[in-house]
Amino acid sequence: MGSKTLYDKLWDAHVVRVDETGTALLYIDRQLIHEVTSPQAFEGLRLAGRQPWRTSANLAVPDHNVPTAQSERASGIADPVARIQVAALGTNCASFGITEFAMGDVRQGIVHVIGPEQGFTLPGSTIVCGDSHTSTHGAFGALAFGIGTSEVEHVLATQCLIQRPSKTMLISVDGELGAGVTAKDIVLAIIGAIGTAGGTGYVIEFGGTAIQALSIEGRMTVCNMTIEAGARAGLIAVDEKTIDYMRGRPLAPTGELFEQAAASWRTLVSDAGATFDRVVHLDAASIAPQVTWGTSPEMVLPIDGQVPDPAAEADPVKAAGIRNALNYMGLTAGQPLAEIAVDKVFIGSCTNSRIEDLRAAAAVAAGRKVSKNIKLALVVPGSGLVKAQAEAEGLDQIFTAAGFEWREPGCSMCLAMNADRLEAGERCASTSNRNFEGRQGQGGRTHLVSPAMAVAAAVTGHFVDVRAL
């Protein structure tokens, strides 16, 4: 007893009851809702004649299906099935009294961008959403994780979830990051090191001097991809950067209540003597810009690497995985990553669509032109407010002058549920988080990179070390 991890503190503060088997009823402070994983939950509520337990605990926004082209926004969603789903969110929120930032509202955007931006995401809280990248909000020292639709309904109806405690892992990244190396590269390197199932059953706390040195937005990028490392939730201790970020957010507490909250938030760190079930160390200085080459985020290498050879892999299941991936990705063993040419470029998603991401991308794009072999280069801001801020800073001008398209906020080509997608065989440098087969369109080939690396690929036409531009 005595020393607690940050996870233990969050868990203990939210347990309503524990039964004799160790299963707990965990109180959920806040829930974010989007159009894809909620309609069946609302339907379930309605069929059972139930009302939301605490309506104000929920905030909804359409993001997955919304068009990012201004023309389609004006004329209404072209895809009739998607249109019905987005409309259903509106109707459901209206009938249950839940606040929704609908299309056209400047606050609309990707659910994991708008939660923090509005101050709906609070340090020390439990936050869920029917979306696996809910792990993003762990950057605030909040216990945040993705759930299925049945659980969305469960939270709506009871404000609780049935949970068992997770194991804890500390990933400590120490030292100084090199110039041109970003939070995205850190998290890709972590996934490369522990594998996509490395975090299964764990909640991962990210610590160490390199994590402390990150901005809040960088921390969100790291926590966002915790799920790609197999863990449902990622955590980063609260510090003064967290508190400064919260101050003045529209939905954050104000005045005396803010100071009271801040005092409590400052305790959201793992105690000195706390022990973790597993500890992993990474040296920040040794991390280079990363590029994924395969169909799983763990298939990742530094930009100076070469496509691996399945014949060199001793484990037959892994070798088959590499062979499948090379086949799908249209790559050959031994090919240098820097020689892979790209067809499309996507800058956006809940991983990398915040203002700092756009600034980093614009810094590389400034004064350069998108290469002739690139068919489409998209920049999709994470929210209407991010878009407005970028425009106020003139970033949109830099992008369009370089040949990028500047779009309306949404998930867009991260999962290609709307019109933005890859055609079969097309290769994309993408700042999103998943490179699974077909993720950005059936037959599409995704390589995950940081915003700066995506722009570097756009302006040269192939992957290249942004530090050498």
Partner 1 sequence: MEPFQNFSGIVAPLDRANIDTDAIIPKQFLKSIKRSGFGPYLFDEWRYLDHGEPDMDCSQRPLNSEFILNDPRFSAAQILLARENFGCGSSREHAPWALADFGFRVILAPSFADIFFNNCFKNGILPIQLEGALIGVLFEKASGIAPLRISVDLPAQLLTLDDGNQIPFTVDVGSKQRLIEGLDDIGLTLQQADAIREYEARRRIEAPWVFV
Q: Report the interface residues with ligand SF4, using CB under 6 A.
A: 63-64, 110-112, 131, 133, 349-350, 411, 414-415, 432-433
The nearer residue to partner 1, 24 or 390, going by C-beta atoms, is: 24
The nearer residue to partner 1, 84 or 341, going by C-beta atoms, is: 84
Phi/psi for 135 (5° steps) reads -50, -25
Partner whose binding site includes residue 438, from ligand SF4, partner 1, none (CB under 5 to 8 Å by kind):
partner 1
Partner whose binding site includes residue 164, from partner 1, ligand SF4, none (CB under 5 to 8 Å by kind):
partner 1
Strand partners, 378: 346, 405
Shortest spacing between CB 261 and ligand SF4, in angstroms: 27
Shortest spacing between CB 424 and partner 1, in angstroms: 9
Partner whose binding site includes residue 407, from ligand SF4, partner 1, none (CB under 5 to 8 Å by kind):
none
Partner whose binding site includes residue 124, from partner 1, ligand SF4, none (CB under 5 to 8 Å by kind):
partner 1
| DSSP letter for each residue of 145-170 | EE--HHHHHHHHHHSEEEE-PPEEEE
Partner whose binding site includes residue 157, from ligand SF4, partner 1, none (CB under 5 to 8 Å by kind):
partner 1
State the virtual CA torsion across 177, 179, 180, 184 in degrees, nearest 10: 10
Shortest spacing between CB 82 and ligand SF4, in angstroms: 13
Partner whose binding site includes residue 106, from partner 1, ligand SF4, none (CB under 5 to 8 Å by kind):
none
| Beta-carbon contacts of residue 269 (< 8 Å; ≥ 6 apart) | 6, 141, 237, 238, 239
Distance CA 446, CA 34 (A): 25
> Measuring CA to CA, which residue among 416, 271, 350, 294 is closest to residue 113?
350
The nearer residue to ligand SF4, 64 or 447, going by C-beta atoms, is: 64
The tokens describing 245, both together, are 């970020």
Shortest spacing between CB 339 and ligand SF4, in angstroms: 28
Shortest spacing between CB 435 and ligand SF4, in angstroms: 12
The nearer residue to ligand SF4, 110 or 183, going by C-beta atoms, is: 110
Shortest spacing between CB 4 and ligand SF4, in angstroms: 31
The nearer residue to partner 1, 40 or 212, going by C-beta atoms, is: 40
Distance CA 194, CA 215 (A): 24
- Contact (Cβ atoms closer than 8 angstroms) between residue 96 and residue 52: yes
End-to-end CA distance of the chain: 53
The nearer residue to partner 1, 109 or 230, going by C-beta atoms, is: 230
Shortest spacing between CB 300 and partner 1, in angstroms: 14
Partner whose binding site includes residue 110, from partner 1, ligand SF4, none (CB under 5 to 8 Å by kind):
ligand SF4
Rounded to the nearest angstrom, the gap between the alpha carbon of residue 49 and the centroid of all alpha carbons in its chain is: 34
Partner whose binding site includes residue 151, from partner 1, ligand SF4, none (CB under 5 to 8 Å by kind):
partner 1
Shortest spacing between CB 171 and partner 1, in angstroms: 17
| DSSP letter for each residue of 70-105 | HHHHHH--SSHHHHHHHHHHHHHHHHHT-EE--TTS
> Measuring CA to CA, which residue among 359, 331, 336 is closest to residue 446?
331
The nearer residue to ligand SF4, 125 or 433, going by C-beta atoms, is: 433
- Contact (Cβ atoms closer than 8 angstroms) between residue 114 and residue 386: no
The nearer residue to partner 1, 96 or 338, going by C-beta atoms, is: 96
The tokens describing 176, both together, are 């100084």
Q: Which amino acid is at 312?
A: A
